[in-house]
């Protein structure tokens, strides 16, 4: 039985103010460098390190939910990379539960590695973080996931399924990386 394919996730998290408005970005590619997906999320007011861990958790959860069991993570956070690898202890009470959750997910994978890289090698994930934070500052980014804001009015459109993709008939007001629930009904 052949080994399942490995995916590579470049992750980044950032906070303007530390603590301040924060977001993470994740860029996932095949081991050969072919793009798989990318996503980012505004997470509210928090620290850089908290945002970095949120990016790691998002990459791990994506991996599991999409049937990947082999993950290599590249991050420009030396602290997080060394904590996850067991080189550094996790002393921050805010990071301990995130570290524990990451370790629990990692234990479910067939293989996992994490490597600290220089910022220049993590530009795509950094770009996503900055786009998300810039969008939040200019009112074009969604509220944080744990926001108490009421759910927005449902969006409606028809769509056509063609060549393996569901294509909406009109542009929907969604943000890059925003997660939505879909209810699909066949037309009569």
pLDDT tens sequence across 5-40? 899 999 999 999 989 999 999 999 999 999 999 999
Q: What is the pLDDT of residue 2?
A: 62
pLDDT tens sequence across 115-141? 999 999 999 999 999 999 998 877 765
The full set of domains in the chain, from first to last, is 6-137 (3.30.420.10)
Output 178 or 62, whichever has higher pLDDT: 62
Q: What is the pLDDT of residue 145?
A: 47
Average pLDDT over residues 73-88: 97
Q: What angle do CA 56, 40, 26 make, to 5 degrees?
A: 45
Q: What is the pLDDT of residue 147?
A: 39
Average pLDDT over residues 182-186: 79
Query: How sure is the predictor about 41, in pLDDT bands with cuts at 50, 70 and 90?
Result: very high
């Amino acid at each position: 039985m052949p080994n399942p394919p490995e995916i590579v996730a470049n992750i980044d998290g950032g906070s303007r103010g530390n603590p301040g408005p924060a977001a993470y970005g994740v860029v996932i590619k095949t081991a050969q460098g072919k793009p798989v997906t990318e996503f980012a999320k505004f997470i509210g007011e928090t620290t850089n390190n908290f945002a970095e861990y949120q990016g790691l958790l998002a990459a791990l959860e994506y991996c599991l939910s999409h049937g990947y069991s082999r993950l290599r993570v590249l991050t420009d956070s030396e602290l997080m990379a060394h904590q996850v690898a067991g080189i550094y202890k996790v002393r921050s009470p805010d990071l301990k539960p995130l570290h524990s959750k990451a370790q629990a997910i990692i234990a479910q994978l067939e293989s996992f590695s994490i490597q600290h890289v220089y910022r220049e090698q993590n530009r795509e994930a950094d770009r996503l973080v900055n786009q998300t934070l810039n969008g939040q500052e200019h009112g074009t980014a969604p509220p944080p996931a744990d926001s108490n804001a009421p759910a927005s009015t449902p969006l409606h459109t028809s769509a056509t399924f063609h060549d393996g993709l569901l294509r909406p008939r009109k542009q929907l007001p969604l943000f890059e990386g925003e997660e939505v629930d879909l209810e699909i009904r066949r037309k009569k």
